[in-house]
């Protein structure tokens, strides 16, 4: 049973974060626009209550943000990268101060568990820490010139205005993955968050403003623009935004990629996932079950890395199936701010309708519902957004299985023969984000990680599909979009590459030995 959330508790959180009952949806740093666009009411999926409202930004406010960002870029790009890193370090510390209330707002507005909300803020802190070190390592390469007394090297320069379109399921972390790196690279950012989670965005902008004002950062380095898809279209078609980083559905990503590509801009796309876990005969089931259950029901199945498909060897299929069903019967569903619960609500009633529709489609294909999810009713579930999770025996080629259902619906299927057959099933979908194998056979694990193995951007051994670390580049292939964010050398997408040649001789030799005399 869900537990009611005290109004006083949420009011105190909003007060700590500076979120008002009605908020402007557009900001260029500390300047918040006073014009009033359409009002967006943010209702919590936890209890159905109105949290607060935001007035959507207009096209004119978008234009004002872009102009301010361009102006700020001229100054920001000239600040030494370690100095920019120092400001990002302070932002990480400020997030540590606000970790509890911001994590609670993430949980209450989005519906994920409080521990996951805190974890999301921790991701923001971690990427700030990563970016601080990176600010002293934005390196290039020294190259060997074929011409005598010449030096050649390549270096990276900031792009300019980076547009960020983020999704509701990670309402703050994905923004920080982009901004922390873009800022230390010398870029300025304009952020369009999901309309489903606008208040967390307002809170993040206000936290950032505190740090930026203390450091006299020019207005326009951090910009917020809350609005509908039209704002995203303006950004995608705007030549003044050389890079658009977009997280969301494959359908949305295609539209962004087409618009940005048409103007020869750059896009960083983090789109749909249809992630599978392979269970081999040698797998340690003590690791498998918690890894699979968290991957499938964590965030109510609303992670792009959520486990959607479980591919089990026929020799252990029935055993794994029985253990999994028992585990699902122990899942506690309710108020995500109650840390005794494993799973909170879906984001809204539209998501609930999509989930129940998917279950009916599975049943229509003849899928065996081992655990059939339903909409939960009664005390504590008044928001209408709570559901129980599902497990269905299904075939990989079914259309509904090929489609990503953003909900706690897990498909299980068996494979025969060696692990290459399981890998073929795993790869047999359009998406290519995250993948995992549980095995104690080194040959199987190495095959899974080889060129003949997983075709996903993330491939894990003996851990689940969900839960990436900041240090690794995050992203996927195929319909997932090919983008990479966060760690490793993902910073390079936020910069333009430049090759430099310096002649320190008294002659002018040409490349390839060409002679040009007159």
Write out the catalytic residue numbers: 270, 304
Q: Which residues touch 360 (CB under 8 Å, ≥6 apart)? A: none
Output the CA torsion sign for 260, 261, 263, 267: positive
Distance CA 476, CA 35 (A): 39
Distance CA 160, CA 494 (A): 9
Distance CA 65, CA 21 (A): 24
Distance CA 226, CA 228 (A): 7
Distance CA 25, CA 39 (A): 9
Whole-number Cα distances in Å, 434 to 67, 271, 438, 468: 38, 12, 14, 10
Distance CA 333, CA 343 (A): 5
Locate 257 and state its tokens: 């990629």
Distance CA 506, CA 510 (A): 13
Asked whether the beta carbons of 74 and 90 are under 8 A apart, the reply is no
**266: three-class secondary structure by DSSP:** strand
Residue with tokens 């001789």: 505
Whole-number Cα distances in Å, 188 to 162, 163, 301: 6, 9, 33
Distance CA 44, CA 37 (A): 22
Distance CA 98, CA 479 (A): 36
Distance CA 177, CA 483 (A): 13
Q: Which residues touch 482 (CB under 8 Å, ≥6 apart)? A: 269, 457, 475, 476
């Amino acid at each position: 049973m869900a537990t009611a959330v005290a109004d006083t508790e949420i009011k105190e959180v909003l007060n700590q974060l500076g979120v008002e009952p009605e908020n402007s949806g557009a900001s260029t740093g500390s300047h918040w626009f006073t014009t009033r666009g359409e009002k967006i009411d943010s209702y919590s999926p936890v209890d159905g209550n109105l949290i607060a409202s935001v007035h959507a930004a207009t096209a004119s406010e978008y234009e004002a943000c872009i102009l301010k960002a361009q102006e700020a870029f001229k100054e920001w790009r000239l600040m030494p990268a370690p100095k920019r890193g120092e400001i990002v370090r302070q932002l990480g510390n400020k997030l540590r101060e606000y970790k509890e209330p911001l994590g609670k707002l993430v949980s209450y507005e989005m519906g994920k568990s409080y521990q996951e909300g805190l974890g999301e803020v921790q991701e923001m802190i971690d990427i700030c820490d990563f970016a601080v070190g990176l600010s002293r390592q934005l390196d290039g390469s020294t190259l060997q010139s074929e011409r005598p007394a010449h030096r050649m090297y390549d270096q990276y320069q900031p792009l300019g205005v980076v547009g960020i379109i983020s999704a509701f399921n990670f309402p703050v972390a994905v923004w920080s993955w982009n901004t922390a790196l873009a800022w230390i690279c010398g870029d300025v950012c304009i952020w369009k968050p999901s309309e489903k989670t606008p208040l967390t965005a307002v809170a993040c902008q206000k936290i950032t403003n505190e740090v930026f004002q203390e450091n006299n950062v020019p207005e326009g380095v951090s910009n917020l623009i809350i609005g509908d898809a039209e704002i995203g279209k303006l950004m995608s078609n705007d030549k003044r935004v050389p890079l658009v980083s977009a997280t969301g559905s494959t359908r949305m990503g295609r539209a962004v990629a087409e618009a940005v590509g048409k103007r020869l801009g750059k896009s960083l796309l983090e789109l749909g996932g249809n992630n599978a876990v392979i269970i081999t005969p040698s797998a340690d089931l003590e690791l498998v079950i918690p890894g699979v259950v968290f991957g499938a029901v964590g965030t109510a199945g609303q992670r792009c890395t959520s486990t959607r498909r479980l591919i089990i060897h026929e020799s252990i299929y029935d055993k794994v199936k029985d253990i999994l069903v028992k585990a699902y019967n122990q899942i506690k569903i309710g108020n995500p701010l109650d840390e005794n619960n494993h799973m909170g609500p879906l984001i809204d009633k539209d998501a609930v309708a999509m989930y129940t529709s998917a279950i009916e489609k599975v049943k229509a294909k003849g899928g065996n519902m081992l655990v059939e999810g339903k909409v939960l009713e009664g005390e504590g579930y008044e928001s209408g957004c709570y559901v129980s999770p599902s497990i269905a025996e299904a075939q990989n080629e079914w259309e509904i299985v090929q489609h990503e259902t953003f909900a706690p619906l897990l498909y299980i299927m068996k494979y025969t023969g060696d692990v290459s057959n399981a890998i073929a099933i795993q790869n047999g979908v359009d998406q290519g984000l995250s993948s995992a194998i549980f095995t104690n056979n080194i040959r199987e694990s190495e095959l899974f990680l080889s060129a003949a193995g997983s075709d996903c951007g993330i491939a894990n051994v003996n851990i689940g599909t969900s839960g990436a670390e900041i240090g690794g580049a995050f992203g996927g292939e195929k319909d997932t979009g090919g983008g990479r964010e966060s760690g490793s050398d993902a910073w390079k997408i936020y910069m333009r590459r430049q090759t430099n040649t310096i002649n320190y001789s008294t002659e002018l030799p040409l490349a390839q030995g060409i002679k040009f005399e007159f």
